[in-house]
Amino acid sequence: MSKIKVTDLYKQYGDNHVLKGVNLEVKDNEVVVVIGPSGSGKSTLLRSLNKLEEPTSGSIVVHGEDIAKKDANIDKIREQIGMVFQHFNLFHNLDVGKNIMLAPVELGKLNKQDAEKQAKKLLKVVGLENKFNASVDSLSGGQQQRIAIARALAMNPDIMLFDEPTSALDPEMVGDVLQVMKDLAKEGMTMVVVTHEMGFAKEVADRVVFVDEGKIMESGTPDDIFNHPKNPRLKEFLSKILAV
């Protein structure tokens, strides 16, 4: 069954055409990794999936509802889509526990006690059970990103979007964050991940999607993409990053 179905998605800012007709389907429990050079439109594609970017045209059906429509109840749908950002975006005015508890309590999903219990459980999942009362700014980048994942999970989403989650991290922090993501994938979470971590893509992805110049140029299993690339731009892209 398909969780997300993107059809003919276009996005432009003024004269700048960022997405030029993207079609993408994400199935239940599927892990899709989106790769591509910077400026190719992959982040815009991801951010369109929960309408942080307003599409210019096309349809994006999530849970059977087309969120590209103006009257879509986007808040309701976002509750079911967790998102993790490159720069974590933890709320600086709240401590770690309150960051995780905010949405479930404010949106009436859980009462305070239950939300606190859940937050502590989630902190354990991401390996930071002793940070409940810590202030956000006292944490390292890797810790902040794991808190951000916990915060997204607190709404109990069935889709998780990751927008270059490890790009802003010091190299020694990357492993911890990727481990949390691998565990999530193992539990059957539906995930769309924009990343430059090719190792993660090879190991975890069910499908890898190569985006360039606002279009999906090639899509397939990690083996297809990394070992038998067909598209010349993909070949060029891979040769550049694997040479490093």
Partner 1 sequence: MKRHSFTSHCVLAMACGLIIALSLFAAPTKTHAAEKTYEIGTDVTFPPFEYANDNNKYVGIDMDLIRAIAKDQHFNVDIKPLGFNAAIQAVQAGQADGVLAGMSVTPERKGTFDFSNPYYNSGVVMGVAQNNNSTKSLNDLKGKTVAVKTGTTGAQYAQSIQKKYGFKISTFDDSNNVYEDVMTGNSVACFDDQPVLKYGINQGTQLKIVTKPAAGTPIGFGVKKGQNQELLKKFNTGLANLKKNGQYQKILDKYLNAKKSTTDNHSFFGILNQNKVFLWQGFLQTLWLTIVSIVFATIIGVFFGLLGVLPMKFFQGLSTTFIYVFRGLPLIVLALFIYTGIPTLIGTKIPAFTAGVITLMLDEGAYIAAFVKGGIQSVEKGQMEAARSLGLPFGKAMRKVVLPQGIKLIVPSFINQFIITLKDTSILSVIGIIELTQTGKIIIARNLEGFKVWAMVALIYLIVITLLTWLSNWGKRRTKI
Which residues form the interface with partner 1 (CB under 8 A)? 50, 52, 75-76, 78-79, 81-83, 85, 87, 89-94, 102-103, 106-107, 148, 151-152, 155
Q: How far is the CB of 45 from partner 1 (least distance, A)?
A: 15
Q: Closest CB to partner 1 among 50 and 195?
A: 50
Q: Closest CB to partner 1 among 152 and 174?
A: 152
Q: How far is the CB of 91 from partner 1 (least distance, A)?
A: 5
Q: Closest CB to partner 1 among 3 and 207?
A: 3
Residue with tokens 């709320």: 91
> Residue 57 pairs with which residues in a beta bridge?
10
Q: Closest CB to partner 1 among 31 and 90?
A: 90
Q: How far is the CB of 156 from partner 1 (least distance, A)?
A: 11
Q: Are 60 and 6 in contact (CB under 8 A)?
A: yes
Q: How far is the CB of 51 from partner 1 (least distance, A)?
A: 9
The dihedral formed by the CA atoms of 147, 33, 178 and 148, expressed in degrees to the nearest 10: 0
Q: Closest CB to partner 1 among 152 and 189?
A: 152
Give CA–CA dist 116/127, Å, rounded. 16
For 71, residues 6+ apart whose C-beta sits below 8 A from its C-beta are: none
Q: How far is the CB of 217 from partner 1 (least distance, A)?
A: 28
Q: Closest CB to partner 1 among 115 and 225?
A: 115
Measured in whole angstroms, how far is the alpha carbon of residue 179 from the centre of its chain? 15
Give CA–CA dist 127/115, Å, rounded. 18
Q: How far is the CB of 78 from partner 1 (least distance, A)?
A: 4
Q: Are 183 and 152 in contact (CB under 8 A)?
A: no
Q: Where are the alpha helices (DSSP H) in the chain?
A: 42-48, 74-78, 96-106, 112-125, 141-153, 171-186, 198-204, 222-227, 232-243
Q: Are 192 and 5 in contact (CB under 8 A)?
A: no
